[in-house]
Amino acid sequence: MTSVLYEHPLNERIRNYLKLEQLFAQADSCSPDNISNNYHVFFNAIFAILGTLERNDVRGELIKDLERLEQHLVLWSQSPEINSSALEENLKQTVGLICTLRSGAPPWEPLRSDKLLSSIKQRFAIQGGSSTFDLPQLKFWLNQPVENVGESLEYWLGKLDKLERSISLVLKFLRQKSDFKTISAEKGFYQDNGEGLLLLRIKLNSKQLCYPTVSGNRFRYSIRFMLPCEKDGRKYTSDPVEFELARC
């Protein structure tokens, strides 16, 4: 059965992690071979990542989450049923990321003063302002040999690599905290206690014609299923909806 997975964060910290994860996926999808057509995707993602880091203490939150993960991994190592080689690899990676994030200035700091990024950033903040006729320096860069373009992409993404790996590791273990359980929502509505939860993961059969909207916080949450509607854009469904839910 093909399913569609929806995720909804229940606090701002996890919301930032999910946002950054998606932005990294967009940036990573661009390569020296396709950057001429995808430069909007790449630079919008990079600038959104840097903007998120400026507005939030992502590094501090990640250090705390990685330290908690390290403590859990040490405890799990005492279980006889654990896969020791996989645990050791995850523990080594966790400790290495903590050390990198703790030491001195953040690895991505040089990107704030990067000459090309600084020269085009303001134009990308203007709707429709990132056309190459407004940015001759960008067009010049796009027409450099593919090796040179590749070096720039590798440098920029390399400065953000530890951040991406940290977020990926924290979210991986968060998602593994809970298995999916089948639930039936009467009249397309479901609510429950959200205490202690950070993330909801909702799976729907791709053949179902509805989608979930979630509201709530760490104390309580509700899921209401919606139908597309030509007249109003969307409408509530009053039919029962069967879905899978993982409460992480």
Percent of the chain with pLDDT over 70: 97
* Boundary-marking domain end, from 122, 153, 175: 175
Residues 169 and 186 in one domain: no
In a domain, 185, yes or no: yes
- How many structural domains is the chain composed of? 2
Neighbour count for residue 73 (Cβ, 10 Å): 19
Residues 137 and 44 in one domain: yes
* Boundary-marking domain end, from 154, 175, 196: 175
Residues 122 and 29 in one domain: yes
In a domain, 114, yes or no: yes
In a domain, 117, yes or no: yes
CATH of the domain at 146: 1.10.3900.10
In angstroms, rounded to a whole number, what is the distance separating the alpha carbons of residues 180 and 200?
Answer: 10
Mind listing the pLDDT tens digit for each residue in 73-104? 888 877 777 777 888 899 999 999 999 999 88
Give the DSSP per-residue string, 11-22: SHHHHHHHHHHH
* Boundary-marking domain end, from 157, 175, 193: 175
| Cβ-based burial of 80 (10 A; exposed 0-12, middle 13-18, buried ≥19) | exposed
Residues 197 and 93 in one domain: no
Domain interval for residue 153: 11-175
Mind listing the pLDDT tens digit for each residue in 186-219? 999 999 998 999 999 999 999 998 999 999 877 8
In a domain, 2, yes or no: no
Residues 137 and 71 in one domain: yes
Mapped onto helix, strand or coil, the DSSP state of residue 43 is helix
In a domain, 6, yes or no: no
Task: Provide the pLDDT for residue 190.
Answer: 95
Task: Provide the pLDDT for residue 199.
Answer: 96
Q: Report whether pLDDT(230) > 90.
A: no
Q: How many CA atoms lie within 13 A of 194 on its CB side?
A: 20
Task: Summarize the confidence of residues 144-170 as an average pLDDT.
Answer: 97
Say if CB 107 and CB 100 are below 8 A apart. Answer: yes
Residues 32 and 137 in one domain: yes
In this prediction, residue 223 has a pLDDT band, given cuts at 50, 70 and 90, of: very high
b/e 204-219 (16+ beta carbons within 10 angstroms → b) = beeeeebbbebebeee
Residues 88 and 200 in one domain: no
Q: Report whether pLDDT(233) > 70.
A: no
Residues 139 and 186 in one domain: no
In a domain, 227, yes or no: yes
Residues 164 and 76 in one domain: yes
Residues 79 and 151 in one domain: yes
In a domain, 80, yes or no: yes
Longest dimension (CA), the chain: 63
In a domain, 240, yes or no: yes
